[in-house]
Structure 1
Amino acid sequence: MATARGAREFQAADYAVMSAMLAVSVGIGVYYSIAGKGQRSSDDFLLAGRSMRFLPIAISVLASFFSASTLLGTPAEIYQYGTQYWISVFGAILAPLTGALLFGPLFFKLKIVSVFQYLEMRFSSKAVRLFGAVLFVIRAVLGMGIVLYGPCTALSAATPVPTWSSIIVVGVVCTLYTFLGGLKAVIWTDVFQTLVMVAGMLAVLIQAIIEVGGMGRMWHLAEEKGRIEFFNFDPDPRVRHTFWTLVVGIYFVWLPPYTVDQQMVQRFSSARSLRDAKMALLFNIPGMFILITLCSLVGVALFATYADCDPLSADVISNPNQLLPLFVVQMLSFAPGLPGLLFASLFSGALSSISSMLNSLAAVTWEDFLKLKFGHLPDEKVTWVTRGLVVLYGVIGVGVAFLVEQLGGTVLQASLTINGAAGAPLVGIFILGAFFPCINWIGAIIGGVLGFSFSMWLIIGKYLTKPVDFKLPTSVEGCYFNVSNSNTSVSVWANSSQHLQGTSLKSDIHHDIIGLEQLYSISYLWFSAIGILSTILVGFLVSVITGLSKREDIDDNLLLSFPRNSGCYCCKRKMKAYHCQTKDHKT
């Protein structure tokens, strides 16, 4: 198997590949600005004129939720903990199915721009709407800075390019094409950037397989070192990864982005028909499977490459998320342009996520905040207001990225915990509204606040409690290179498995944990489910205490089609005094 060869510097061809990717992204924005005659209407700018076909929407949604963090973090997860995380794909693909068949059609039918408009329509309360919008803005602003910081700091670790300069360049490019071309430019740049992402990861995988002597040799090395494991049916919720956490728990993790996230709803609403919108999310099922499988295979290949010389143990790198950049500069430098392609793929992941957030933040800020006071403005001026919001949030995103750089990984972890904690209560509130007509606005908002607080409490408690770590063993027996460790810190946190270190994979290590630490030791993959279910439970109890809403007061169009009567029946059983009826039906 191959061991490290020593880092090489980027060549002109590598910079050219990265520059070409950025130039094409800007070019797409310019094209749609001209072709769309400046995107003069807010409908064009925020919803692409509701004219998009399913395939570009499908790829755009996929690109928005698979950032550079996923490309770096998933291989690092497989490298350290084995292939068990791979089976999470079977739980993850259920989320777009839920969005396509349930929530997506509901929002499409209402013709809303901001998903939080639904909350006011359903609960007749601006407070619930504003609560949801504020949570989204917090999540998106923090997410932009984190996603932007990741690939920039990875690039600075492998090249002489300082982190601050790449943050500014990428931030300006992303803001520029979003400002010029609106959602249509965002969607088509996502398509281009997804192709770059896949090409970069394929290049890494192919070269890694060549380095270790073939796919069979790669798999044999990983199996020999105990990295191949798929099914652990331990029912203990404290075990970091089991079949249940990776199929059931991960479903709840992916539920927020594919059901009630503003980025998804805007793309769903941009489709020319409901059929195109549904097909877009359904096509995310094979798309998710391909991307997660590709990243997982890269993780196996990286382990096989460094099976006898772990760069982490040898102090060549200080962070597992540096594994992929290290491999690129060591193993792909023989072909000018290939390292540039990989880093272009990382930046493509960042650009696709950030541009989606910029457009969605502009939509939410206008629809849920500014429109309340400036709704009298003509549509052409509204378009320029939303363009200005894109620029404003672009500047804020760059600022947050610099803040993350200065304050380091601890704040990065804390920011991601807030980002994750905000998603679960939003899903809970939307489920309360769409499934249960008896829930009132007081129950919805108190359930959301307490669900958010409980999620934050669990995540912070887990973060502050010293984790029991059970990384799989590595070796340095085959090390023969001499590469000094860089002082540059690469902190790219991909998902909860990196920023919230889980408890041991072996449940018997938990025997000496007492008190609240037992609660904090629950696998991080259950936190989203706990946040959603606690929001629903509290919302229901508060509604019972404060007075259930009457069924005849709720428009059928605000409820999911199949649970209209079932949710009504549930409420009636809980409270005999509750009046349960539809326009043409009484129970």
Structure 2
Amino acid sequence: MSPILVITVISVYFLVLMGISYLTSRKNDNLTFFTANRQSPWYLVAFGMIGASLSGVTFISVPGEVGNTAFAYFQVVMGYLVGYLVIATVLLPLYYRLNLISIYTYLEQRFGKYSYKSGAFFFLLSRIVGSSFRLFLVAGVLQLAIFDAYGWPFSVTVAITIALIWLYTFRGGIKTIVWTDTLQTLFMISAVAISIYLMKDALDMSWFQLTEKVSASGYSEIFVWDWQSGQNFFKQFISGAFIAIVMTGLDQDMMQKNLTCRSLKDAQKNMFWFCIVLVIVNFMFLSMGALLYIYAGEMNIAIPTRTDDLYPLLALEHFPLIAGVVFLLGIIAAAYSSADSALTALTTSFCVDFLGLGQDDKPISKKIRIRVHLAFSVILFLVIIAFKAINDQSVITAVFKAAGYTYGPILGLFTFGLITKYQLKDQWVPVVAVVSPILSYIINDNSEIWFSGYKFGFEILVVNGLLTFFGLFLIKKSKLELAD
């Protein structure tokens, strides 16, 4: 695919996003930026959240991982459903009852200032690292596809990537995101559907034959019962439930979209239909992954050493041109649908949680909000450049995984607040929030030695949350302290 064609596709794509931004940001105020005036249609939020819940990493990695673990990832997706049920029945009613802009203000009302700031801080840390990592991968794709041909440095690619996000989000904020996420989700699903169709056509099979081919292959196995495996069903299922609760229900980025719905009932309908579509989309990704391996085998195409490279290789070098175009649109949509909403959520959290805007009759300043929005754009740029300077994929991946540990303290704090009536020695909460992820990392790193070969998967998140919960229990106030 020529650089000129890539530039044309991306230019048209962002012109459409800019048009959406213009239409959704007219006559807007700061409340629109943060809450979309709570007027978003629930079905748009539900569909758009699919794109936000999937990243560029997922778009490439899930199909590629089928070669290693077949459909085992679907066990996690099944667990998601339990997590989303908890969100719809427990967390959303709480957020709507308290009329929250930032969900972490609940922690202040429940425990105090230090708990509140701890939850918000760990969200900021995790989102900055996670979003930077995803944008780093996409900037690398753009560098290879476009800017290397013109001799432009990587820093320019990153600056352009982030500037485009800033331009279409700085005015409309979450109201714009709800609509752009819908478009980006459509591009992602279209890329997968078209890729599947083209492989079916190239293999000269009917849909029934294609289904039989995937079912008969070893790639379609879902369940793993070996307890030592990181892919064990119970590990994956339970982890999926907690991942959904933490990375959707306790995440400002994802919940900010839900809180733009007109009512709690609409938000709950959004979660219900979001669940159904998410399951279907993830199954499509896995099915496409199986087909990629089958197609490569039938066409005698060598499988890349890195499984993440399989889909890009086939789409850009072996599929027809239309597949390369939709793949490019899909990977960009996957990355930007998570990055643009993350930038808006970071701005919201910092303005509300650390600057106190919108609280205690403190007005929401548009000038301050724009400065914060710009500042986080610069921070993302600097972190991505730091990733490039490290220039070690294993180190960068480790940093990204480490950011996942920051959700444990948030899980522990919210769980302790919801299922107990204890008050805390609030000033000690930051200590617990820092120590718990460190202990979790040590346990995870030594689990095979300490626990007779047991290997943690995603369920290390649960361990992290439990350690936080136990630490909070240790610093609860006594009856005597409550009396004082």
1:292 equivalent to 2:282? Answer yes
Q: Which of 131, 135, 143 lines up with 1:144 in the alignment?
A: 131
Q: Which of 241, 253, 257 lines up with 1:251 in the alignment?
A: 241
Corresponding residue number in structure 2 for 1:560: none
Corresponding residue number in structure 2 for 1:547: 478
Check whether the contact 1:60–1:190 (CA below 8 A) recurs between aligned residues: yes
Corresponding residue number in structure 2 for 1:479: none
- d(CA) in 2 for partners of 1:372, 1:449: 27
- d(CA) in 1 for partners of 2:193, 2:2: 20
Check whether the contact 2:187–2:329 (CA below 8 A) recurs between aligned residues: yes
Corresponding residue number in structure 2 for 1:75: 63
- d(CA) in 1 for partners of 2:73, 2:480: 43
- d(CA) in 1 for partners of 2:346, 2:75: 33
- d(CA) in 1 for partners of 2:351, 2:340: 17
Corresponding residue number in structure 2 for 1:405: 388
- d(CA) in 2 for partners of 1:265, 1:200: 27
- d(CA) in 1 for partners of 2:155, 2:210: 38
- d(CA) in 2 for partners of 1:301, 1:22: 31
Output one character per residue of 1:266-304: Cα deviation in whole Å (capped at 9) or x when no partner: 222222111111111122111211221111011101110
Q: Which has the larger radius of gyration?
A: 1
Matched ranges for 1:205-224 at <5 A: 205-214=196-205, 215=207
- d(CA) in 1 for partners of 2:338, 2:179: 13
- d(CA) in 2 for partners of 1:446, 1:193: 40
Q: Which amino acid aligns with 1:339?
A: G
- d(CA) in 1 for partners of 2:373, 2:229: 42
Corresponding residue number in structure 2 for 1:347: 332
Give the C-alpha shift of residue 376 in structure 1.
7.4
Corresponding residue number in structure 1 for 2:95: 107
Cα–Cα, structure 1 residues 436 and 549, in superposed 2: closer, same or farther, change >3 Å? farther
Give the C-alpha shift of residue 142 in structure 1.
0.8
Corresponding residue number in structure 1 for 2:353: 368
Q: Name the Cα RMSD after superposition.
A: 2.8
Corresponding residue number in structure 1 for 2:37: 49
Give the C-alpha shift of residue 378 in structure 1.
4.2
Corresponding residue number in structure 2 for 1:192: 183
Cα–Cα, structure 1 residues 369 and 355, in superposed 2: closer, same or farther, change >3 Å? same
Q: Which amino acid aligns with 2:39?
A: S
Check whether the contact 2:83–2:240 (CA below 8 A) recurs between aligned residues: no
Q: Which amino acid aligns with 1:383?
A: K
Cα–Cα, structure 1 residues 331 and 371, in superposed 2: closer, same or farther, change >3 Å? same
Corresponding residue number in structure 1 for 2:367: 384
The SS at the match of 2:229 is coil
Where structure 1 has 5 or more consecutive residues not aligned to the other structure, the ranges are: 1-8, 466-512, 554-577, 579-587
1:86 equivalent to 2:74? Answer yes
Output one character per residue of 1:373-419: Cα deviation in whole Å (capped at 9) or x when no partner: 9977644xx12211221111112112222222232312321221222
1:228 equivalent to 2:212? Answer no
Give the C-alpha shift of residue 444 in structure 1.
5.3
Give the C-alpha shift of residue 527 in structure 1.
0.7
Check whether the contact 2:120–2:353 (CA below 8 A) recurs between aligned residues: yes
Pick which of 425-434 and 55-64 moved more: 55-64
- d(CA) in 2 for partners of 1:251, 1:22: 35
Check whether the contact 1:446–1:538 (CA below 8 A) recurs between aligned residues: no
Corresponding residue number in structure 1 for 2:16: 24
Give the C-alpha shift of residue 104 in structure 1.
1.2
- d(CA) in 2 for partners of 1:44, 1:373: 12
Output one character per residue of 1:337-363: Cα deviation in whole Å (capped at 9) or x when no partner: 431221111111111111111111111
Residue identity (%): 21
Cα–Cα, structure 1 residues 219 and 114, in superposed 2: closer, same or farther, change >3 Å? same
Matched ranges for 1:419-498 at <5 A: 419-442=403-426, 445=430, 447-459=432-444, 461=445
Corresponding residue number in structure 2 for 1:283: 273
Give the C-alpha shift of residue 102 in structure 1.
0.7
1:538 equivalent to 2:471? Answer yes
- d(CA) in 1 for partners of 2:33, 2:216: 54
Q: Which amino acid aligns with 2:133?
A: I
Check whether the contact 2:84–2:271 (CA below 8 A) recurs between aligned residues: yes
Matched ranges for 1:558-569 at <5 A: none
Corresponding residue number in structure 2 for 1:134: 121
The SS at the match of 1:307 is helix
More helix by share: 2
- d(CA) in 1 for partners of 2:480, 2:458: 34
Pick which of 403-412 and 163-172 moved more: 163-172
Corresponding residue number in structure 2 for 1:486: none
Corresponding residue number in structure 1 for 2:167: 176
Cα–Cα, structure 1 residues 432 and 226, in superposed 2: closer, same or farther, change >3 Å? same
Give the C-alpha shift of residue 50 in structure 1.
1.6
Cα–Cα, structure 1 residues 13 and 538, in superposed 2: closer, same or farther, change >3 Å? same
- d(CA) in 1 for partners of 2:93, 2:410: 18
Check whether the contact 1:132–1:426 (CA below 8 A) recurs between aligned residues: yes
Output one character per residue of 1:498-552: Cα deviation in whole Å (capped at 9) or x when no partner: xxxxxxxxxxxxxxx6x34757x52322211111222223322442xx41699xx
- d(CA) in 2 for partners of 1:457, 1:230: 30
Check whether the contact 1:29–1:181 (CA below 8 A) recurs between aligned residues: yes
- d(CA) in 1 for partners of 2:356, 2:3: 50
Cα–Cα, structure 1 residues 290 and 549, in superposed 2: closer, same or farther, change >3 Å? farther
The SS at the match of 2:262 is coil
Check whether the contact 2:45–2:258 (CA below 8 A) recurs between aligned residues: yes
Corresponding residue number in structure 2 for 1:307: 297
1:265 equivalent to 2:248? Answer no
Cα–Cα, structure 1 residues 209 and 87, in superposed 2: closer, same or farther, change >3 Å? farther
Cα–Cα, structure 1 residues 158 and 82, in superposed 2: closer, same or farther, change >3 Å? farther
Cα–Cα, structure 1 residues 441 and 158, in superposed 2: closer, same or farther, change >3 Å? same
Pick which of 408-417 and 361-370 moved more: 408-417
The SS at the match of 1:181 is coil
Corresponding residue number in structure 2 for 1:202: 193
Q: Which amino acid aligns with 2:398?
A: A
Output one character per residue of 1:485-510: Cα deviation in whole Å (capped at 9) or x when no partner: xxxxxxxxxxxxxxxxxxxxxxxxxx
Q: Which amino acid aligns with 1:167?
A: V
Cα–Cα, structure 1 residues 181 and 86, in superposed 2: closer, same or farther, change >3 Å? same
Output one character per residue of 1:210-265: Cα deviation in whole Å (capped at 9) or x when no partner: 2333356656665666333222223x2x3121221222222222220221111123
- d(CA) in 2 for partners of 1:139, 1:256: 12
The SS at the match of 2:102 is coil
Check whether the contact 1:246–1:525 (CA below 8 A) recurs between aligned residues: yes
Check whether the contact 1:263–1:356 (CA below 8 A) recurs between aligned residues: yes
| TM-score, scaled relative to structure 2 | 0.90
The SS at the match of 2:284 is helix
Output one character per residue of 1:439-473: Cα deviation in whole Å (capped at 9) or x when no partner: 424485554333322233345x26xx9xxxxxxxx
Q: Which amino acid aligns with 2:248?
A: Y
- d(CA) in 2 for partners of 1:343, 1:202: 14
Cα–Cα, structure 1 residues 104 and 220, in superposed 2: closer, same or farther, change >3 Å? same
- d(CA) in 1 for partners of 2:432, 2:9: 49
- d(CA) in 2 for partners of 1:549, 1:56: 51
- d(CA) in 2 for partners of 1:287, 1:46: 26
